[in-house]
Amino acid sequence: MNEPIMPSPNDQLISGIQEVFRNNGWECEVVPGVPVVETGFEAHHGRLNLHVQAYGVIGAISVVAVSPTLIPSAAARGKTVELLMRANERMNLGGFELRWEEGEVLFRIGNVFPGGRVDAKVLSLLVEIAIVEMDRIAPCLAIISNARAGELLLLNPAELLARGDLLPEPATVDAKENRG
């Protein structure tokens, strides 16, 4: 007698991710051959790409928001690293990263889902946190990215983070803003 084929731990998590996205009205696509779901959201300061990866062996999911703003020069990347380090000092969940060679800024947050069962509320919050945090830092990244060499010398990342006009209070993500 043939025993039913059990889905792999990655397949279980990917199915759970897709179900949560579907229930929230968020479009997404599974990346062929890897346990990853990708989508995009229109946030206040621009479109953000989102990458959600399953780690079935440990039952974890990682949500990564990718900034649309690339940091073009080594000098600007230095200021960006300081900005991200200072922002991370204030974080309790998740954190910013810079992929140095690409000049790409990421916000990564994850969670372990025991038994591979995806908690819809938790995953939805992870997505919302990633979007909100990346959107909140977007104006600072734009200022650094667009600054000329002489202006970069005068930029103070701590002062950028302190500017209330650049970092509005977080708001919830409206599911209608997702455009996969």
Among the ranges given (25-34, 92-101, 159-168), the one the predictor scored with the smallest mean pLDDT: 159-168
Residue 78 has pLDDT above 50, yes or no: yes
**Distance separating the N- and C-terminal Cα atoms of the chain:** 42
CB of 131 closer than 8 Å to CB of 172: no
Look over the chain and give the mean of its residue pLDDT values, rounded to a whole number. 91
What's the 3-state SS for 26-45? CCCEEECCCCEEEEEEEECC
Residue 171 has pLDDT above 70, yes or no: no
CB of 111 closer than 8 Å to CB of 61: yes
Q: In Å, how far from its chain's centre is CA 114?
A: 22
- Mean pLDDT score, 147-161: 93
Residue 88 has pLDDT above 80, yes or no: yes
CB of 137 closer than 8 Å to CB of 64: no
Q: Which domains does the chain have, with CATH numbers?
A: 9-166 (3.30.1460.10)
